[in-house]
Each structure stands twice: as structure tokens, then as C-alpha cells.
Structure 1
């Protein structure tokens, strides 16, 4: 599969564009890939790219760490006005709403804003050293970039409160048991398995993936939404081609 490096200027990300996916590596090795204002801006650029040309997204971290949190030095300088701007939460919501499925491959620490970025992805797989946690209350703030809303949906209210109120961290095994990650794989195979999962999705209909995600993420899901999405797909040539090939294979079996 041909891969190209995105020619835009990124200081905090490594971005690789492929035919059917974009691979983004958080890259601030001097700060455990902490999420800074610059990284937020650059991730917005990636979102713009994926909104204009929808592809699968693989998000991971450099150097055995996903993201050790938000940049505390920057948070210290933020006040009420910055909080109301939702600097981190607006980005993570944008990631959540990307047209095609997103996957976080997490090894090492995914704390605070780093955990919330992983929560915003559709799917997560982990290496054995992965640790998820939200220690914001110890810094006098809340996990305001999505954890308070998303975590109860992902792991249930009880486990979410253990993380958000009692400061519990989930290691890779616990994260899998709680349903936060779909699989735990050896470190050396993490990206290989992540790409294998994306390969499997890429073989599906892109239109079906987009509409399925749209329906699943729609608030107050309604049967009419399913019907409308299905109506669009039923008229598509992709559906006709795939079903015809399926029937032809079955007739030859």
C-alpha cells in the first residue's frame, strides 16, 4: 500500500497519508506527547483533511506513550474565557464526528486529555503497558473534554465514577474487561494489529461505514434514521455489486 507523508508543516504530529487511511502519531517526546495548544491546532488540520477527503484514521503515540495528559504549564495559564472556548473539548468532539471510523492504538500512558482523546475515537486497542486515567480532580479541575459524558457510555456509570471521582486507573487488562478497548496485543504487534483491523474495515463499503457511524452516533436514535440510511445504500451501485458477487460465490460453492 503506497504511503506518503503529509506535506503540511507539523511540529507535534507525524502524519502519514495512505490511500484509505491517515496515520497520526502524537509526537512530543520531550513532554510524553502532552497535548499542547499547538498539537490541538495541528489535529484540527488533520480533521479538516479527513472531513474534506473521508478516510479511516489511526491515532497513536510516539515512544511507548499515547499522551501523558494535557500540557499542565499551558492549563495553568488558562482562565474562564479559555475554558468557555472549549479548546480541547471542541477538538475531541470534532474527532468524534469524523465521517469515517477512527481507531486509537494505545500503549503506555493515556491520561487526562490523552485519555479523553482516546475516548473520542470509535475504537481502541491497547498494548500490555497501556494505562487509562483521569486525574484532573487532583489538579483542581474536572475532565471537561468529554470524559464526564463519554466514559459512562463506554464503561458504565460505576466504573466511570471510580475513574473520575476516586482516581482509579485502568490497566490494559482492566480496560478490556470494562469494554474500553476491544483487544490487548503485544507491544511489537500493536500497529500491525491496528492496521489489520483497519484493513478489515476498508474492505467494507465506505458508504455503509459512514452511514452506520452516523446512525449509531445520532442522539435519540430512531428507526426512521436506520430506514433512511438503508434507503440511500439500497440505491447504490456498491451494494448491488457486493451482493451480486456474494451470490455468485455462493452459487459456485
Structure 2
């Protein structure tokens, strides 16, 4: 799977999009590699850090392949299915964006739980300029992330946000220098993995549950956690620390 470099860790995994000669444009081979990578993380849940090799995160889908796709290809949802699968991974995902994150690259970033960029980050959806639309999540995820007025400006008028603009609207959680990008991702992953793993998994699932599933889904998830040894151990440790401070 040369289009995707995978670095395994005990509580996290780094995925590197690896088509630097094409600014990591997302082609069918990369989609297949991402599906295999998702299967491994679904089997053994870990935090995912997703980045790109070279001077771009992902400058979009592969236009040469996209030009030849037809109606049936669109209905297969080649990109939308893999981005939705990434969105639904059990543990949080962190997109690390240096350079361009455009089109399908932006939609891949939107599917992640967190996004960290650099001053070189440029993010947007120029699909309508190519005679198509952003059909792999941006049409509905982007409004949830940045609000309807700005989402329409990006999707309908081709606006591309720079790093400062994206951070101002919280599309980027943080902006760091390129040399610090991977380290910043690991710092955020450290904060995530310091939490109780099952609680984190269920919190993510409850967060993304449909509105009409609440509050039942919250109560059921909490019932599961109330019966775990980790809940008892963590609360006991908290109480002991507080008692120690009060002595």
C-alpha cells in the first residue's frame, strides 16, 4: 500500500497520504488503502493521526480519474463512503494539514474530529468550478462546522480559507509551524489517550448520535460505563487525591 504509509503505535496510528508528486490527490488506490487501514483500526481501536507526505495534505481527488467517472461511479459513492467510514471510526481522528486541503482533501479533513494546520494551510471546495459538486460530505458537514453563510461562500463561490481564517471559525483547532505539525498532533493524541478509552469511544458515539436518539443513547452508554472497573478506579483515585490536598 505505497499510497498510504502507516506507522503503528500502541494507542495511536499515523496514516500518511503518499502521493507527493500529485499533491496527495486521492485516487482509487488510496481509497482502497484507507479502507484497509480503517478495518485495522475498527478491529483494534486507536487514535488516528492523518497527514500528507510532501508540501500538501491532499489537493483533492485525482482529476484524471474523476474526469472519466460516470453516473454509476457517482452512485457508488467512492469517496463519500470512505470519508464516512473515517468519520465513524471508534476513537478520535486528527487531521494534520500542511499546504493544500482542497476538494476531496478538504472533505477528508472535515470527516475528522480535529484539524491542526500550519500557516501554509489552504482549505476549500472548488468543485463547482470543475462542473461538479462537493459530494463527499462537504455539502452537509461544512455547515455544521462553520455555519451556513460561510459554508455557502466556500461551496458556491469558491472561497478558499487561509490558516488564520480557518482557525478564527474553529475549522482548525490550532495552527503551528510546519516543523511542529506532527508533534502537535501527538500532543493532542496524548490528551485524548489520557482519558478512559471506553468512555472516549462511547462519548464520540453519543456525540454523533441522531438528535432523536437522545437522551436514551446517553443513558445506555452511561449505564455501561457505570459498571466498569476503570470508572471505579479513576473516581477512587480522584477522591484520594482530593483528600490528600485537604490534609
The verdict on a shared fold, with TM-score over 0.5 as the criterion, is: yes
Equivalent residue, structure 2, for 1:245: 237
Separation in structure 1 between the aligned mates of residue 29 and residue 17 of structure 2, nearest angstrom: 12
Equivalent residue, structure 2, for 1:222: 214
Q: Report the secondary structure of 1:125's partner residue.
A: strand
Equivalent residue, structure 2, for 1:7: none
Alignment of 1:97-116 (within 5 A): 97-116=88-107
Alignment of 1:203-222 (within 5 A): 203-220=194-211, 221-222=213-214
Q: Is 1:138 aligned with 2:129?
A: yes
Alignment of 1:50-199 (within 5 A): 50-199=41-190
Match of 1:233 among 225, 228, 231: 225
Q: CA offsets, 1:128-169, max 9 Å, x none?
A: 110101000011000000000100000000000000001000
- How far 1:64 moved relative to its partner? 2.5
Which segments of 5 or more consecutive residues in structure 2 lack a partner in the other structure?
A: none
Separation in structure 2 between the aligned mates of residue 128 and residue 192 of structure 1, nearest angstrom: 16
Q: Report the secondary structure of 1:165's partner residue.
A: helix
Q: Is 1:26 aligned with 2:17?
A: yes
Name which of structure 1's ranges 226-235 and 151-160 shifts more when overlaid on structure 2.
226-235
Q: Report the secondary structure of 1:14's partner residue.
A: strand
Equivalent residue, structure 2, for 1:5: none
Which segments of 5 or more consecutive residues in structure 1 lack a partner in the other structure?
A: 1-9
- Structure 1 outlier segments of 4+, above 2 Å: none
Q: Report the secondary structure of 2:31's partner residue.
A: helix
